[in-house]
Amino acid sequence: MHKFSSNTIKSLKYYVYGLKYPNSENDYFYIGKGLGNRVFSHVHQKIKKGIKDPKFDIINSLRKVGGPEIDIIRHGLNPREALLLEAALIDVFGVNQITNKVRGIDSNKFGIMSIKNIEANYKGKDFTLNISAVCFKINQAWHKDIQEETLYNSIRGNWALSLNRAKRAEYGIGIHNGVIKGIYKICNWEQGTPSSRGYRYRFNGYKEDQLQKYIGYSLVNHPGHKVRGPLFYYNCK
């Protein structure tokens, strides 16, 4: 089968589909959304020389054994419903186990995550602890599946800052949209790459267990967070 009839297309509306290995129950390697005959475009897909596409490689290999098989997982959807369902299924099946290049819409914000991350995102308590810290905005770097080492390196960073003022800080705090994602005790600062005003700097540090309960607390109401820029100082006068 290579296309739907016009009556089928009218009834389907927007839909979410899965490409899977032949004779498997739900061994999907690709999840997509579509309208009309979009689902068949993959089966007839051709790829330009020199471009890598894992999905195409699998499809091409399965053509010899009568595949891939295609399921319409849910139909009768509007565009927004199709986007959300596509994102949810990619999360459930795992983007690293299938050939989707990116996660679906709002996956990093509303997608599958641990109960620890859910609580950290929404606990909403203001951070008022009496410590001194440099607070680094890691809005682009943070994602819900970030590994500890990557989180640490994104916070310790390579920052253009006032070294004299930064040395007054006991801690380095990483925040994502105002919410604390990591807290590290600062041991020392070291010189990083050159910048237009001299050098950037990064700290070396470690986690203190007693402060990890503050992950998920908010600094969104702190005056420094409202100022544009990649970092601000907390009690570092």
Q: What percent of the chain clears pLDDT 90, i.e. is strictly above it?
A: 35
Nearest-angstrom CA–CA distance, 107 and 90:
9
Output 11 or 188, whichever has higher pLDDT: 188
Rounded mean pLDDT of 196-215? Answer: 91
Distances in Å between the Cα of 25 and the Cα atoms of 75, 85, 146 are 19, 19, 31
The residue among 158, 221, 168, 151 whose CA lies nearest residue 190 is 158
Q: What is the pLDDT of residue 110?
A: 56
Q: What percent of the chain clears pLDDT 70, i.e. is strictly above it?
A: 83
Q: What is the pLDDT of residue 164?
A: 93
Nearest-angstrom CA–CA distance, 139 and 179:
10
3 state DSSP class of 57: helix
pTM over cut 0.75: no
Q: What is the pLDDT of residue 65?
A: 76
Q: What is the pLDDT of residue 68?
A: 83
pLDDT at 114 over 90: no
Q: What is the pLDDT of residue 143?
A: 82
Instruction: Rounding to the nearest 10 degrees, give the CA dihedral for residues 15, 16, 19, 22.
Output: -70
Q: Which two tokens stand for residue 93?
A: 């099946």
Burial 19-35 (b: 16+ CB within 10 A, else e): bbbeeeeeebbbbbbbe
pLDDT band at 5 (very low <50, low <70, confident <90, very high): confident
Helices (H) and strands (E) in the chain, counts: 7, 8
Instruction: Give the chain's domains with CATH numbers.
Output: 6-110 (3.40.1440.10), 116-234 (no CATH)
pLDDT at 105 over 70: no
pLDDT at 50 over 80: no
pLDDT band at 3 (very low <50, low <70, confident <90, very high): confident
CB contact set of 147 (below 8 Å; sequence gap of 6+): none
Rounded to the nearest integer, the mean pLDDT of the chain is 83
Rounded mean pLDDT of 24-53? Answer: 77
pLDDT at 108 over 60: no
CB 44 within 8 A of CB 62: no
pLDDT band at 8 (very low <50, low <70, confident <90, very high): confident
